Amino acid sequence: MAFIARQHPGGVVVVEVDGQLIVGNRQELKQKVLDALEAGNKKFLIDFTKTGYIDSSGLGVLVSLSKKIRDEGGDLRLAGLNDDLKTLFELTKLDTLFAITDTPAEALAAF
């Protein structure tokens, strides 16, 4: 299972991405988050600590989720990106769009 969602104390939904976020599985992540949003959750942390790769479709779904969550008055943060993944965010200037922290703990503290 690539995406594991759990409720963190403080009302944050933490979604762990295990492996990759790519064109073949991005819809699954999108659905998981949208379902949680619809259930009334407003705070989301996507944890990429165990993620080796994100492709442009994966970046696209994060952009799409960011907009949707913001439209609902929510907050989305990303954490745990390795250096390769940070490069992809920087190249596409998405590092300025998202709230990104090195560790999930830092992200959780910022909500």
Partner 1 sequence: MADGARNACDAGAGSSGAMSAPLFAEFARRETAEGGLEAELRLRIPSDVNLVDEAIELVTRHLEAAFVDRHIIRFNLRVALAEAVANAILYGNGEDPAKGVGVHILFGRNAVEMEVTDEGCGFDFRHVPDPTLPANRMRPYGRGLFLIRQLVDEVRFNEAGNSIRMVVRRT
Count CB atoms within 10 A of the CB of residue 89: 19
Contacts to partner 1 from residues 1-20, by CB under 8 A: 20
Q: How far is the CB of 40 from partner 1 (least distance, A)?
A: 24
Counting residues that bind partner 1 (by CB under 8 A) gives 20
* Residue with smaller CB distance to partner 1, 58 or 104: 58
What distance in Å separates the CA atoms of residue 20 and residue 68, rounded to the nearest whole number? 22
Q: What angle do CA 17, 52, 110 make, to 5 degrees?
A: 50
DSSP 48: -
Residues in 32-91 that interact with partner 1 by CB under 8 A? 55-57, 59-61, 63-64, 67, 84, 88, 91
- How many whole angstroms separate alpha carbon 33 and alpha carbon 28? 9
Residues at the contact surface with partner 1, assessed by CB under 8 A? 20, 22-24, 55-57, 59-61, 63-64, 67, 84, 88, 91-94, 97
